[in-house]
Amino acid sequence: MSCEHLEPSNLPVEPTTPDGCQECLAEGGRWVTLRLCLTCGHVGCCNSSPGKHATAHFQNTGHPVIRSFEPGETWRWCYVDSLTG
């Protein structure tokens, strides 16, 4: 199965909060791992984190693709099609 959302997501995106999850930093929360929105650069925490802010960002904005924001990881995930790229 192919995913139209994963195709254009190789463009570089600057993280809005390179030091961590935007919401966790503002609220004093904690995260497990980080995800980068490839539409706007939002940095959110993963679903293993208490806030699940990356998924919440997708639900609020509809931005379909994130990538891991962990050192050495380059995988991407499309929320719309539930596919890894």
Q: Are 39 and 64 in contact (CB under 8 A)?
A: yes
CA angle 48–51–54, rounded 5-degree value = 75
pTM: 0.93
Which residue ranges of the chain lie beneath pLDDT 50? none
Q: What CA–CA distance (Å, rounded) separates 7 from 28?
A: 35
Q: What is the pLDDT of residue 61?
A: 98
Q: Which fold has domain 19-84?
A: Herpes Virus-1 (3.30.40)
Tokens of 56: 């919440």
